[in-house]
Amino acid sequence: MPVRRRSAALIAFSTLTLLGATVTALPAHAAQDQVMLATTCSETPRDLPVNQFTDHRELGVELDRIERVSGGRVEVEQLGHSNRGRAIWSARVGTGRKAVLLTSEIHGNEKTGTDALLDLLDWVGTSESAKAERWRSELTIVAIPKMNPDGAELDRRGNDMTWQEVTARFPQLRGSRPAWNYYTRSLQGDDYSARPGFDINRDYHPNLDYVPREEDFPGTSAQTGWYLSPETRAVRDVYRGLTAEFGEVDTYVDLHHQGACYVMPAEPDEFVTLSISGRFVDDPATTPGLEQYADRYDLDYSKRLNVAVNNALQAAAANRPAFGNITLYPQDTNLPGTGLGSFALNGSGTVLFEVRGQTQTLGQQHRAMLVRSVYVGLDGMLSSIASGQVNRLDPADYDRIPPRGPNIGTGGADAERRVDDPRVDVLEH
């Protein structure tokens, strides 16, 4: 059960304004967590500092350091290049029979996951603790941090690959309409009309051998993607290689962000720290075109993984109350063109992290706490897989995690739609 923190009526603190949100000042680290709700919260896109997050150059330096200090336990590999020629790296650690794939920053304005993965790799690669040794003996962990380096360097959701570049790579598409996830308008404060690009988290297909076909375009959010981008093809190839090596990828985790202004459903005076989910597609057994994946799809296992994440964060809330503000991401999501949807259909247990606030709404505010919340959740999940405890968890506990409360954001053109539009995924996950 979540640890109950305080009654606002019992606390008399002064009021301050931060990034357009009026908040109540709290003592010690509770103030850093900003666990009490702002009376107002802005979703208006702004140009905010992000220099504390790890950029692409720093990522390469840090991965080199981790590989070196781990004495070879962590193996860093360059998988390929982004559309603009930036390196895409993976880091592998462990020799266990259960393969776990972790990715971050598929959306370039969602950055906490990359820093959490670096912290995790550093610890598991260097620690001599019994826990780290168990992870290394039971698990093979492969992390792909900052998988969309072009979008990350632009600090925006999408990359800057043009449709003309797509058709140059895939001449069979020259007569088709551009994909529906090709941005040519303003979004989250970025003008894609001047520099078009793709939301590459709609570019996956559960058929790992799929080749783009003209008749499949422009598609919709409820349909599969195409592996148009070099970034998604790189992740697909890692997943395919792990499947060949281990028979299956036990778990796939994708680290994201959501709006800054969601509140807890039963405590509307507190922000959601992060939302989690294990459900990304409709039941393939009853979904036309996806029936072939029904035998491999295991929603109960995904639910158990998410329960492990939630249990770890609720336990940590005893010391950091904000870690207890966890909700389920909306469960009406049907996105077979995402990595999570496609890999779930291939039999992997799946976990989505949706951390509070993208860079255009929070910048690097609360960075340390939010990065740590991702780390704690991943730590609990990986420990549960390594010990086998995950198989003893009750998937019904997943359904007891509270749903995400409303977005009380003001000022942003998309704020109201985030709350009311069932296609909310267009702006978040």
Residue 199 included in any domain:
yes
43 pLDDT above the threshold of 90: yes
Residue 263: DSSP 8-state: B
Q: Nearest 5°: phi and psi at 200? A: -75, -5
Q: Taking Cα atoms as reference points, which of 120, 185, 122 lies closest to residue 158?
A: 185
Please state the three-class secondary structure of 217-255 as a single string.
CCCCCCCCCCCCCHHHHHHHHHHHHHHHHHCCCCEEEEE
Residue 416 included in any domain:
no
Per DSSP, the three-state class of 154 is helix
Residue 169 included in any domain:
yes
H or E element that contains 318:
none
Q: Residue 427: what pLDDT?
A: 53
Residue 6 included in any domain:
no
- Compute, in degrees rounded to 10, the torsion defined by CA atoms 80, 84, 86, 88: -40
Structural tokens at position 256 = 């994201």
pLDDT in tens, 50-94: 999 999 999 999 999 999 999 999 999 999 999 999 999 999 999
**Distance (Å, whole) CA 392 – CA 45:** 43
Residue type for position 56: H
8 A C-beta contact, residue 153 and residue 86 = yes
pLDDT in tens, 171-195: 999 999 999 999 999 999 999 999 9
Model confidence band, residue 17 (pLDDT cutoffs 50, 70, 90): very low
Average pLDDT rounded to a whole number, residues 366-392: 98
**Distance (Å, whole) CA 399 – CA 44:** 32
* Count of helix runs (H) and strand runs (E) in the chain: 12, 16
**Distance (Å, whole) CA 38 – CA 16:** 10
**Distance (Å, whole) CA 189 – CA 149:** 19
Residue 123 included in any domain:
yes
**Distance (Å, whole) CA 241 – CA 208:** 11
Rounded to 5°, angle at Cα 218 from 215 and 224: 80
162 pLDDT above the threshold of 80: yes
Q: pTM here?
A: 0.90
* Cis peptide bond N-terminal to 218, omega within 30: yes
Residue 45 included in any domain:
no
| Tally of domains in the chain | 1
**Distance (Å, whole) CA 70 – CA 52:** 24
**Residue-number span of the structural domain to which 233 is assigned:** 56-406
**Distance (Å, whole) CA 343 – CA 336:** 9
Q: Residue 342: what pLDDT?
A: 98
CA distances from 198 to 124, 276, 285 (A): 34, 24, 30
75-81 vs 87-93, strand pairing mode: antiparallel
27 pLDDT above the threshold of 90: no
Structural tokens at position 277 = 């989910």
Structural tokens at position 289 = 């075109």
Residue 51 included in any domain:
no
Q: Taking Cα atoms as reference points, which of 242, 174, 241 lies closest to residue 212?
A: 174
R_g of the chain computed on alpha carbons: 21
CATH, residue 199:
3.40.630.10
Chain mean pLDDT for the chain: 90
pLDDT in tens, 313-348: 999 999 999 999 999 999 999 999 999 999 999 999
8 A C-beta contact, residue 361 and residue 46 = yes
Burial (CB < 10 A; 0-12, 13-18, 19+), residue 267, is: buried
